[in-house]
């Protein structure tokens, strides 16, 4: 019996509701929510996904090529630059500057902002990033990551030259933010203000695939995460807060987990709850972490997942930056841990 050329075969529903959603598909679906939004935003984010795929390929081979180890160069932070830092920064700068919607870039690795398409009327966005955070963990096969923060240009006149201080915007002005964590798997976590979504890289096909839709930070966890070596040299309120966690006064006795790579430590806090702290101490009186490209993207993700982030006195996203590489204390966690932290800080201020 020859096949009937006019017969249409129904697709199995399992294929119609395909579980495979790439980050590109997700972004296109997301931006349909914004009337009149062109594909510029998703094209910009594709620059980040491309760069981080190139970075992860190098991170995965760090021990197999001569890229391992320090480059012997001291960066603007006064830190010994690992070769992968340099490579990661070049990949982010190259990929993002190829997007004509990007007016300016600011990187942890560069002292000053980098002009991309600063005078083009299409260049609506500024991207701030740390290309490889936690890079001191590379030589010991620890998790590292890339952070990014996307801002709209502050200037009304997009055809005018972009000014360096346009990058100094409060974190609440972020259009989108997120990070990529290079761990046992590579995962992109981002928010554009409509939930927080995680995409795991399928190395076989080189696609970020939706694996954690609409991430919600648990109201409480069982871990706190900080470098306790400095606790004695931090303000008393931090010591009293951690002592409360030890004594189980929040309803459970907390255990400690600390990798020494902010993105990996925060990623655990985001997925299973708890609190991450980098308080001020005598070595870092303003805190160690950078406001623009570490604290702000993390705080944006935390808040859109139901948590919160503070510098000990203010909401991180409300802080008006004064300089690109400005440092800040950072405490970020679930609702219960942050409520207890804010109460401790308020009691301290009242004494």
Binding site for ligand P6P (CB under 6 A): 133-134, 136, 227, 260-262, 265, 278, 288
**Composition of the chain by helix, strand, coil, percent to 5:** 35, 25, 40
The helix or strand, by DSSP H or E, that contains position 327, with its residue range, turns out to be: strand 327-328
Q: Are 280 and 286 in contact (CB under 8 A)?
A: yes
Closest to ligand P6P by CB, 193 or 260 = 260
d(CA 261, CA 252): 25
Closest to ligand P6P by CB, 241 or 276 = 276
Closest to ligand P6P by CB, 125 or 238 = 238
Residues 6+ apart with CB under 8 A from 64: none
Shortest Cβ 136–ligand P6P spacing (Å): 5
CA 30 from centroid of its chain's CA atoms: 19
Q: Are 126 and 168 in contact (CB under 8 A)?
A: no
The three-class DSSP label of residue 13 is helix
Closest to ligand P6P by CB, 118 or 279 = 279
CA 254 from centroid of its chain's CA atoms: 25
Closest to ligand P6P by CB, 96 or 144 = 144
C-alpha distances out from residue 24 to 1, 39, 146, Å:
44, 10, 19
Shortest Cβ 262–ligand P6P spacing (Å): 3
Shortest Cβ 159–ligand P6P spacing (Å): 37
Shortest Cβ 259–ligand P6P spacing (Å): 8
Shortest Cβ 133–ligand P6P spacing (Å): 5
């Amino acid at each position: 019996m020859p096949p009937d050329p006019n017969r249409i075969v129904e697709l199995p529903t399992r294929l119609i509701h395909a579980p495979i959603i790439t980050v590109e598909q997700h972004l296109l679906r997301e931006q349909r929510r914004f009337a009149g939004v062109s594909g510029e935003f998703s094209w910009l984010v594709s620059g980040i996904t491309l760069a981080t795929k190139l970075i992860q390929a190098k991170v995965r081979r760090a021990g197999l090529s001569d890229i391992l180890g320090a480059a012997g160069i001291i960066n603007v932070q006064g830190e010994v630059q690992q070769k992968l830092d340099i490579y990661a920064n070049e990949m982010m700068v190259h990929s993002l500057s190829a997007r004509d919607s990007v007016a300016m870039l600011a990187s942890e690795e560069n002292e000053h902002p980098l002009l991309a398409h600063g005078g083009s009327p299409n260049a609506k966005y500024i991207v701030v990033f740390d290309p490889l955070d936690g890079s001191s963990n590379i030589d010991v096969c620890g998790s590292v990551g890339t952070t990014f923060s996307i801002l709209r240009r502050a200037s009304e006149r997009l055809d005018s030259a972009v000014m360096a201080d346009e990058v100094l915007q409060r974190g609440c002005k972020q259009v989108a933010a997120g990070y990529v964590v290079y761990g046992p798997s590579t995962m992109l976590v981002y928010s554009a203000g409509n939930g927080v979504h995680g995409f795991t890289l399928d190395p076989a096909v080189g696609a970020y695939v939706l694996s954690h839709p609409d991430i919600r930070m648990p109201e409480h966890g069982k871990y706190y995460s900080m470098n306790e070596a400095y606790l004695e040299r931090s303000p008393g309120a931090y010591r009293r807060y951690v002592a409360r966690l030890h004594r189980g006064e929040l309803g459970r006795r907390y255990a400690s987990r600390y990798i020494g790579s902010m993105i990996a430590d925060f990623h655990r806090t985001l997925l299973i709850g708890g609190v991450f702290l980098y308080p001020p101490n005598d070595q870092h009186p303003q805190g160690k972490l950078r406001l623009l490209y570490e604290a702000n993207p993390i705080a944006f993700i935390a808040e859109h997942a139901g948590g919160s982030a503070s510098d000990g006195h203010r909401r991180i996203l409300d802080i008006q930056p004064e300089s690109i590489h400005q440092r800040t204390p950072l405490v970020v966690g679930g609702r219960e841990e942050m409520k207890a932290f804010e109460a401790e800080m308020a009691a301290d201020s009242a004494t």
